[in-house]
Amino acid sequence: MIKLIASDLDGTMLDDGKNLPENFAEVLNGLKDRKIRFAVSSGRSYCSLKKQFCDYVDDLIFICDNGAYVCDRGKTVSASVMPAAAVKNIVRFCTAQGLGLLLCGKKGTWHNARDGGTLEEIRKYYINEQYLEDLSAFDDEIFKVAVYEAEGIENGAYPKLRERYGDFFNVQLSGERWVDIMNIGITKGHALHDMQNRLGVDYGETMSFGDYLNDIEMLENSYYSFSMENSHSLVKKAANFSTGSNNDNSVMKEIIKLCINN
C-alpha cells in the first residue's frame, strides 16, 4: 500500500504554463481520506512554494531547494546552510564566467540580473526574487546557489562547476539552463529518505515522479518511481515505471489509478 508520494513540479506535475492540475485539490482530499501523505519536491524555494500552494500548506510536505530546506505542515523539519565564505567564492567564480546567479536563502532569493531574458527565466521559478547589486554582500542563510546559462548549461558551464566544486558540494544539473549547488549529501532523495524514516514509511510504500537529473535520487528511494514522457534519458533509466507528459496531467492520473481507485 502506498503511504507517501513525492512529485517534482516543473516538467512533471505542472504543465508547460506552470499551472497546477485542475483536479489537484480533489486528488489531495482523496489522499487525505486514505492517510497518504503528499510531498511537493522542487528546486524552488519555500517562499515560492508556499505562495503557489497557499491553500494546502497545512496538508503538504515541502522538499524545497532540492532538499536543502524541508517543511511539514508549515513547520521546518531540516535546513542545510552553505558556508558563507564558500558562497562568496562561487559568486566570484560564476561572475567571472559571465553566468547568472541566484542565492536561495531564508530571507529571499537574491540576484543581480538586469536583462529581460534572465529576469523572465528567474520569475518562472522564483516568486520571492530580490535584487542585490553585489551578491557577495548577501546577509542571509543560503541553502542553495542556482547558476543560469542561457545558451544551455549541460555542455557549457556544468563540467567546469563540477570540476571546481564537485569535491566539496553537490553540483546538480537541474534543467537545461540551470545547475544547483548545495551542501554534500543534500538531494531530493536524501530528504525523501529522511521523511520516510520520520513517517515510518518504507521503499515499497513510496511513490515518486520526476523528469530531470535532480530527481534521480528521489526516484531511487521509491519503488513506485515514474519518469515522465518528457524526461531526460538518464531519468528514464533510473525510474521503475514511466508515464505520459507533464501536459497530460499524468501525475494525477497515476495517483488516481494506484492510490484512489485501487
- Per-residue confidence (pLDDT) for residue 33, from 0 to 100: 97
Single out the residue in 124, 151, 183 at which a domain terminates. Answer: 183
Sequence-ordered list of residues with C-beta below 8 angstroms from that of 148, at least 6 positions apart, any chain:
99, 100, 101, 102, 118, 121, 122, 177, 178
pTM, rounded to two decimals:
0.89
Indicate the residue among 149, 183, 217 that finishes a domain: 183
Residues 96, 133, single domain; the answer is yes
Q: Backbone phi, then psi, for 238, in 5-degree steps? A: -80, -30
CATH number for the domain including 235? 3.40.50.1000
**Dist CA 243 CA 260 (whole Å):** 17
**Of 136, 154, 183, which residue sits at a domain end?**
183
Residues of the chain with pLDDT under 50: none
**Cβ burial, residue 85 (10 Å; 0-12/13-18/19+):** exposed
Q: Mark whether 120 and 67 lie in a shared domain.
A: no
Q: What is the pLDDT of residues 48-70, one digit of tens each?
A: 899 899 999 999 999 999 999 99
Q: Are residues 124 and 62 in the same domain?
A: no
Same domain, 10 and 134: no
CATH number, domain with residue 178: 3.30.1240.10
Q: Of 17, 45, 19, whose CA–CA distance to 130 is shortest?
A: 45
Domain range enclosing 127: 84-183
At residue 131, the pLDDT reads 87
Question: What's 66's DSSP letter?
Answer: G
